[in-house]
Amino acid sequence: MVISANDFKIKGVSLLDNLLSTLDEVLISVRGKNKYVVVDMARYEYLRECELEQAYRDVQADIKARKSKTMSAKEHLKELDNALQD
């Protein structure tokens, strides 16, 4: 479902509450272009969990493919400092 930013401005959070009671997400368009997505907190937490699980799988794949290295915290901080100076 897409609503305009103007509808949201006029009707406020009650419009979102009403729509999200039956929908997973609501798109807000600005000047005819979809710009924002609104989801309820439970949906957001679920999507965030999925994102973190994918990041974990990506890291595990990098480790398996030997695209990672082991270093101390001190070595890591030095590497970060060097990257900032470049």
What is the layout of strands, in order, in the sheet containing 2-4?
A: 2-4, 26-30, 33-38
Domains in the chain, number: 2
- 84 and 57 share one domain: yes
What stretch of H or E contains 26?
A: strand 26-30
Q: Which domain holds residue 51?
A: 41-86
CA distance 59 to 73: 18
- The CA-based angle 38-19-43, given to 5 degrees, is 45
pLDDT confidence band for 53 (50 / 70 / 90): very high
- 33 and 48 share one domain: no
Dig out the tokens for 43 from the structure: 């949906």
- 46 and 31 share one domain: no
- In this structure, how many other beta carbons lie within 10 angstroms of the beta carbon of residue 86? 4
- 20 and 61 share one domain: no
pLDDT confidence band for 86 (50 / 70 / 90): confident
User: pTM of this prediction?
Assistant: 0.69
